[in-house]
Amino acid sequence: MTKTKIAVLCSGGGTNLQAIIDFQKAGKLEHGEIKIVVSDNSGAFALERAKQKGIKTAVFDRREMSKAEREEKMMQTLKAEGVELVVLAGFLSVLGERFVSEWKGRIINVHPALIPSFCGMGMFGLHVHEAALARGVKVTGATVHFVTEECDGGPIIAQKAVEVRDDDTPESLQKRVMREAEWQILPESVEKVAKELAQRREQKEL
């Protein structure tokens, strides 16, 4: 079975990207392969993580071009690489309707909360954990979902709960949600969707 070609989109440190790379290195990403890592931030450490593993990279810096130009170039690059699955791993740019439509049912995102809680516009990074602590919830977690035109509104693929401790800060909660939830369910979800796409492609070829 031909492996599903994957693009991972990142804006920052790339810890979720690293989790997928490690998953792939361990032989667990049986039906997928990371073909390219794309960033909207030329200073993203995610790019270094990719380069260290010999993975192709591309940068379309959000400070240097318009959203429309950036997305057009991203689409051209992903198509040239034959990308079938797009994974948003800490990607801070909201994708436009045309991009989402092009990979409909083939874009997934990880969100650091249990959707539908603490999600939507403006809810990213530490903002999510600050909101969870301000609300006083006892359980939070992470969600992997398909990306649609509605921000954080697509069908859910996987969720994992994480306990909120009395002495948590946004930073400590963020780290625990990453370690106990995001870094587990994101790679597993990438494999799950990559497998489904590979099987679908194989059936078409029969």
- Tell me which residue has tokens 């903002």: 127
Considering 111, 127, 129, 145, which one is annotated as catalytic? 111
d(CA 152, CA 107): 12
Computed on alpha carbons and rounded to an integer, the radius of gyration of the chain in Å comes to 17
The values of phi and psi at residue 87, to 5°, are: -115, 120
The values of phi and psi at residue 69, to 5°, are: -65, -40
The values of phi and psi at residue 139, to 5°, are: -135, 130
Residue 111 catalytic?
yes
DSSP summary character for residue 12? S
Q: Which residues are catalytic?
A: 111
